Chain A
């Protein structure tokens, strides 16, 4: 790889610092009362109010419980798919990672339609048991944990599978040659070897749960976690408190990021680099075991897909046609037609698409350039660029959204602050920042695998820089770049957490529109929006988004 000039690296670092680091820094400074003078009264207030530190406590225990539940689902699932052969394994293997690719808000409303008070499953149970009212209510911490377990097990599943694929079969053979039984081998050999990967998965799950917004926002009710508390404070105009809450949540996230980097978690996500040969998948011998694995695999897939299938069903239910019946009495395309015929309702779809495209393009350009420069410019500048690519990944969306909102609602051009809040630009900009780690990290992965000698080989064959870039570098990096770009596009297209803080009427995205449709009892239209997000996300993810180990 040819050396990039230092000034290009410095310029890019400046731009990224302004986008990524500066809003966080401004928020921290202002929470401390700076620049007027050090003033810790807001922090004192945070400690004094029980509902404030309770939100913090809720965040912590919800995240910890989510890790436990996700592990409970993800680890056995990882073992099942890595070690056993059963009909439909490959298809189900792709389906079970879908929850990570679908917008969280879509998952949440799908849960609402299935398990909510008038949800499909709730009705089945209620009518089946002849109850007068719904057997359960989908709210509070239980509902949040259910949604978290459902979507976050993917980390444990992927890490377990990757670790098992890397496993050297001869270690297991050695254990059995030494007389160890299956249980003993699992306890003393397999699990200890998996431990680093599981710790990594646990950390990622914890951090994602910590930043989770959609589920607590819709199901939390009076049960607040830090992200929802921040948004509530900001809506109530308690900006000082919002700053302090943001700083607290950011501090937790930075602690997590520090741990992730210290433990080198990324390493465990990849199946490659194996020494020795991974144990081959066992074709289950006993009939019963094979049946059990097949039933477990398919049962789980149905459980995972049921909410989304319900969402599709609801999208076909005409308004106020379904009241007390078990199943909707009428199905039709009314919701789709009404959406297509109403420009006001198409507007959010158009908004989401153009903003996601613009943000993805920008993030791809900045992320890939930063990745390349961070590899060629060694030393501090390179490390700083890499850090700027990682930080937005660790910081919860709410923190970024609020930090951007607070920083760019002030005009102070000489301080690098402009009034962007309320304009067309703030949301695409926020999306871009949130997408940087996705595009940047996959570009980094692609570049690290790229053999720089190929560029030398091309040069030795008389190819100029442009020709080499077009014929060699770009085609070989394309899969990694496409994967990063499609994941970035999916995340921004369905984004809710950033949008709810920063949207304006003119830039309202699909997610915000889903929420207002729900509030207007327009469930059918909300479902149509959800189906749109789901189909686009799933298609893009399955076609371009799947990178080895990601």
Chain B
């Protein structure tokens, strides 16, 4: 049952179309991640949800109620800002109480709610601290407590971790996720980091150029990418040219035929781009009918060794190998593993991705 519904959201800045008809639905208690490179429109979409930007077209509904025309203050959406936007002249307690005070909640009730919220984000007793005295991670959690205090219907998070250093980011991400689960709030979380999106999102909306590229779970985006863009943006992908010879079968080099994932191959013959993920391939002895290339370089990553193989035509493939890696320059064969999500065939480069 959709709790938050976005219908054909369209937004332009001057001549530039930043959002081109976005449709999405978020279930109650679900965390939807808006993922995309910078300029993809994800932050604009979040600001439209918050009410800071007005779309040219489209509707926004919460629990069936149309909130498109409501000003931000009356939407009852909480927001965690990228740079936190904590009020510098108020202490931690007054920051958290701000939304309650604005709604006219009595002082006593404010105090207990503030204490409850600070306990939730593991900052009990921080009420009297000045906001510039506490660390970046703590400021982040105060911002979360502040946004949650008035019990908003939806929580919006704008790149909440981008201001933290990498070591802190991981831990704060886990804490944030735990709090969202515990509160059971419906959340929309903007990020440009795939790892973060996979970690926190129940589902992910991948945006590019103002269009929704794919909406689905992390596993769906990774194993059944809807376009070349999606395949490249989530996870590593190597690309090689090929020609479809039969349904589900592609010739990637003279005499070398690979089966491609079932749902990716339409019957039509012609040029295709074949995507192969490093972990879906292995190195074998060179032989007829096997794609051959030379080892260019290899890099040990912990769980595997990433081997870069250069084909005769200069194409480079990445293969995650779990065995001893031949020396650079040696001739090797590359074969896809059976039953994996790649290789997949897409329309050749230059097309807008889309279905193969």
Q: Which residues of A contact B (CB under 8 A)?
A: 451, 453-454, 456-465, 467, 471-472, 475-476
The residue in chain A whose Cβ has the minimal distance to the Cβ of B74 is A462
The CA-CA distance from A137 to B314 in the complex, in Å, is 92
Q: Contacts of A459 on B, CB cut-off 8 Å?
A: 51-52, 71-73
Contact residues in A for B1 (Cβ distance below 8 Å): none
Q: Are A462 and B87 in contact (CB under 8 A)?
A: no
| Given A460-B73, A472-B87, 5 new contacts (CB under 8 A) | A451-B83, A457-B81, A460-B79, A462-B73, A462-B103
Distance A475 CA – B52 CA, assembled complex (angstroms): 23
Q: Do A463 and B73 form a contact, CB below 8 Å, given A457-B79, A458-B98? A: yes
**Residue contact A453 to B77, C-beta cutoff 8 Å:** no
Query: With A456-B52, A456-B72, A475-B89 known to touch, is A461 a contact of B146 (CB < 8 Å)?
Result: yes
Instruction: Give B100-116 as 1s and 0s: 1 = Cβ < 8 Å from A's Cβ atoms.
Output: 01110000000000000
- Against A, the Cβ 8 Å flags (1 = close, 0 = not) of B49-92 are 01110000000000000000001111011110101011111000
- A465: chain B residues at CB < 8 Å are 73
Known: A456-B81, A458-B98, A471-B98. A476 touches B89 (CB 8 A): yes
Determine whether B150 belongs to the interface, using a CB cutoff of 8 Å to chain A.
yes
Let me know if B85 and A456 touch, CB within 8 A: yes
Residues of chain A within 8 A (CB-CB) of B85 are 451, 453-454, 456-457
B residues in contact with A453, CB < 8 Å: 81, 83, 85
Most interface-central of A459, A471, A475 (chain B CB within 10 A): A459
Which A residues are CB-close (under 8 A) to B156? 460
Chain A nearest CB, measured from B110 CB (Å): 13
Contact sample, A vs B, 28 pairs, CB 8 Å cutoff: A453-B81, A454-B85, A456-B50, A456-B52, A456-B79, A456-B85, A457-B79, A457-B81, A457-B85, A457-B86, A458-B98, A459-B51, A459-B72, A459-B73, A460-B73, A460-B77, A460-B147, A461-B102, A461-B150, A462-B73, A462-B76, A462-B103, A462-B150, A463-B73, A464-B102, A475-B89, A476-B87, A476-B89
Most chain A CB neighbours (cut-off 10 Å) among B52, B73, B83, B103: B73
Do B87 and A460 touch across chains, with their CB atoms under 8 A apart? no
Which residues in B have some Cβ–Cβ distance to A below 8 Å? 50-52, 71-74, 76-79, 81, 83, 85-89, 98-99, 101-103, 146-147, 150, 156
Instruction: Please name all residues of chain A whose beta carbon is closer than 8 Å to the beta carbon of B81 when the two chains form the complex.
Output: 453, 456-457
Q: How far is the CB of B85 from chain A (nearest CB, A)?
A: 4
Which of A456, A460, A463, A476 lies in contact with B88, CB distance below 8 A? A476
A467 pairs with B50, CB closer than 8 A: no
A457 to B146, CA, bound (A): 10
Asked if residues A457 and B77 are in contact (CB atoms below 8 Å), the reply is no
Min CB distance B291 to A, Å, is 52
Report the 8 A-B pairs with minimum CB-CB distance, sorted nearest first. A461-B99, A463-B102, A459-B72, A460-B79, A457-B85, A453-B85, A459-B73, A462-B102
Chain B hits for A475, CB < 8 A: 89
Name the A residues within 8 Å of B79 (CB-CB): 456-457, 460
CA distance A127 to B98 in the complex (A): 71
Q: How far is the CA of A472 from the CA of B73 in the complex (A)?
A: 14
- Which A residues are in CB contact (< 8 Å) with B146? 457, 461
Nearest CB in chain A to that of B94: its residue:
A471
The residue among A451, A462, A464 with the most chain B CB atoms within 10 A of its own CB is A462
| Inter-chain contact total with CB atoms closer than 8 Å | 65
Q: Smallest CB-CB separation from A457: which chain B residue?
A: B85
CB distance from A145 to the nearest CB of B (A): 46
Query: How far does the Cβ of B1 sit from chain A's closest Cβ, in whole Å?
Result: 25
- Roughly how many angstroms separate A323 CA and B311 CA in the complex, as a whole number? 108
Cα distance A458–B81 when bound, in Å? 11
| Bound form: Cα–Cα A251–B150 in Å | 59
A-side contacts of B83, CB under 8 Å: 451, 453
Which residues of the other chain, A, contact B73 by a CB distance below 8 angstroms?
A: 459-460, 462-465
Give Cα A450–Cα B74 distance, bound, in whole angstroms: 24
Residue ID in chain A nearest B72 by CB atoms: A459
The residue that A461 contacts in the complex, of B52, B71, B78, B89, with Cβ under 8 A, is B78
What chain B residues lie within 8 Å of A451 (beta carbons)?
83, 85
A456-B81, A457-B79, A457-B81 are known contacts. Are A463 and B99 too (CB-CB below 8 A)? Answer: yes
Q: How far is the CA of A461 from the CA of B72 in the complex (A)?
A: 8
B73 (CB) vs chain A CBs: closest residue: A459
B207 to chain A, nearest CB (A): 21
> In the assembly, what is the distance between CA of A454 and CA of B88, in Å?
9
A139 smallest CB distance to B (angstroms): 53
* CB of B51 to closest CB in A, whole Å: 8
Chain B contacts of A456 at CB under 8 A?
A: 50, 52, 72, 79, 81, 85
Q: A462-B73, A462-B76, A464-B73 are in contact. Are A457 and B102 (CB under 8 A)?
A: no
Instruction: Give bound CA distance, A454 to B87, whole Å.
Output: 7
Cα separation A471 to B73 with both chains bound (whole Å)? 15
Q: How far is the CA of A463 from the CA of B78 in the complex (A)?
A: 12
Is the CB–CB distance between A460 and B102 below 8 Å?
no
In the complex, what residues of A have CB within 8 A of residue B89's CB?
475-476
Task: State A458–B90 Cα separation when bound (angstroms).
Answer: 12
Task: Say yes or no: A461 contacts B50, CB within 8 Å.
Answer: no
**Cα–Cα, bound, A451→B77 (Å):** 21
| Alpha-carbon distance A329/B48, docked complex (angstroms) | 79
**For residue B72, which residues in chain A have a CB less than 8 angstroms away from its CB?**
456, 459-460
Please report the C-alpha to C-alpha distance between residue A467 and residue B72 in the assembled complex, in whole angstroms.
14
* Distance to closest chain A CB from B155 (angstroms): 10
Q: Is the CB of A458 within 8 A of B52?
A: no
* B101 contact set on A, CB distance < 8 A: 471
B52→A462 contact, CB < 8 A: no
- Tell me which residues across on chain A come within 8 A of B102, comparing CB atoms: 458, 461-464, 467, 471
User: How far apart are A404's CB and chain B's nearest CB, in angstroms?
Assistant: 40
Complex CA–CA separation, A457 to B87 (angstroms): 9
Determine the distance from Cα of A451 to Cα of B89 in the docked complex, in whole angstroms: 13
Minimum Cβ distance to chain A for residue B132 (Å): 13
Question: Smallest CB–CB gap between B268 and chain A, Å?
Answer: 50
A471, chain B: closest CB distance, angstroms = 7
Tell me the bound Cα distance from A460 to B73 in angstroms: 5
Would you give the shortest CB distance from B105 to chain A, in whole angstroms?
10
Question: Given A453-B85, A454-B87, A471-B98, is A460 in contact with B50 using a C-beta cutoff of 8 Å?
Answer: yes
Tell me the complex Cα distance, A522–B76, Å: 70
Q: Tell whether, in the assembled complex, residue A462 and residue B99 are in contact, meaning their CB atoms are under 8 Å apart.
A: yes
Q: How far is the CA of A467 from the CA of B101 in the complex (A)?
A: 10
- Give, as a whole number of angstroms, the nearest-CB distance from A447 to chain B: 15
The CA of A461 and the CA of B145, in the complex, are separated in Å by 11
A471-B100 Cα distance, complex, nearest whole Å: 13
CA distance A454 to B51 in the complex (A): 15
Q: How far is the CB of A482 from chain B (nearest CB, A)?
A: 14
Residues of B within 8 A of A471 (CB): 98, 101-102
In the assembled complex, the Cα of A471 lies from the Cα of B50 at a distance in Å of 21
| B147 pairs with A461, CB closer than 8 A | yes
Closest CB in chain B relative to A452 CB, distance in Å: 9
B17 to A: closest C-beta gap in Å: 21
Residues of B within 8 A of A461 (CB): 78, 98-99, 102, 146-147, 150
Docked complex Cα distance between A59 and B52 (Å): 54
Q: How far is the CA of A459 from the CA of B53 in the complex (A)?
A: 13
Are B98 and A463 in contact (CB-based, < 8 A)?
Answer: yes
Nearest residue in A to B103 (C-beta to C-beta)?
A462
User: Which residues in B have their C-beta under 8 angstroms from that of A458?
Assistant: 87, 98, 102
